[in-house]
Amino acid sequence: MNPDHFKDKVIVITGASSGIGLASARLFGSFGANVVMAARSYDKMLELAPSVNGNPEKVLCVKTDVSVEEDCRNLIRLAVEKFGGIDILVNNAGISMRALFKDLDLKVIKSLMDVNFWGTVYCTKFALPHLLASKGSVVGVISIAGYSALPARTGYSASKYAIRGFLDTIRIEHLRDGLHVMVFAPGYTDSNVRKVALTADGSRQGETPLQEDKLMSAEECAQHLAKGLYKRKSQLILTGLGKATVWAHRLFPRLTDRLTYRYIARETGSPFK
């Protein structure tokens, strides 16, 4: 990968105040890109902006709730006003959940679809004319759960499957006009998403059931994202476990169901216990 490929590119990243989004913003900033950081935590983004690029003219922070259509429209408008166009849109903002469907308040699934799926749809819709003009890239950060479902994450898996279907369709619609569409599926990554996952009643989980120190770092994940963009890949599935899970789900779906059940049942505080 040649970092100069991203120099002066305009890159919009949602969910940019933490985790994969922040690591990606810092990486692209180090490559000399113009980075547009979008998140609900505006003050936090302002504090973090110098770590993305020491030149304030190269970073734009936009307070954005991606579940709100007008916020997404405003994000793209301000990005274009500031930098003149958009080359890459990284739809990274997302929330998770942890509860069995039978115990779940339906507002939890609606919240996940509003942020994860509709946030991707809104931002992509408003950015699309600019991405077509630049023959740029749109990315959806999904999950292995968007290929092989995870129990106790009905809303999360459903939203990630939906994003994959949406972006795969967009790719086919634009096969002949230079638009690059990538579905990016990390495995378990060290991030804040599980700590703020929603429980059955919509309250935040507050802690993660995983051993975060054994997971892929957000910085390593960002490196893979950049390489995928550089090579204009259609999909990128990370980690050996992730690739094995996707492969097994395609060939041996019933076996994968049983293995997935056992894996989740071993988690700390598993809802199956």
Q: What CATH homologous superfamily does 3-241 map to? A: NAD(P)-binding Rossmann-like Domain (3.40.50.720)
- The pLDDT score that the predictor gives to residue 209 is 52
Contact 61, 50 (CB under 8 A): no
More confident residue, 262 or 228: 228
156 is catalytic: yes
Q: Which of 122, 156, 161, 188 is catalytic?
A: 156
Kindly state the tokens that stand for 68: 């709100």
Q: What is the mean pLDDT of the chain?
A: 91
In the chain, the percentage of residues whose pLDDT exceeds 70 is 92
Name the band, by pLDDT with cuts 50, 70 and 90, for residue 198.
Answer: confident
* d(C-alpha 45, C-alpha 40), whole Å: 9
* d(C-alpha 119, C-alpha 123), whole Å: 6
pLDDT higher than 80, residue 22? yes
- pLDDT tens figures, 42-77: 999 999 999 999 999 999 999 999 999 999 999 999
Domain boundaries, the chain: 3-241
- Kindly report the pTM of this predicted structure: 0.91
Name every residue whose Cβ is closer than 8 Å to that of residue 99 and which is 6 or more positions away in sequence: 108, 152, 198, 199, 200, 271
Name the band, by pLDDT with cuts 50, 70 and 90, for residue 272.
Answer: confident
For tokens 């390593």, the residue is 220
**In the sheet where 34-39 sits, what is the strand order?**
59-63, 34-39, 10-14, 88-91, 137-141, 180-185, 235-237
Residue by residue, DSSP assigns 49-108 as: HHHH-SSGGGEEEEE--TTSHHHHHHHHHHHHHHHSS-SEEEE-----B-B-GGG--HHH
Parallel, antiparallel or unpaired: strands 137-141 and 180-185: parallel
In the chain, the percentage of residues whose pLDDT exceeds 90 is 79
Name the band, by pLDDT with cuts 50, 70 and 90, for residue 213.
Answer: low
- The pLDDT score that the predictor gives to residue 171 is 98
* d(C-alpha 171, C-alpha 69), whole Å: 22
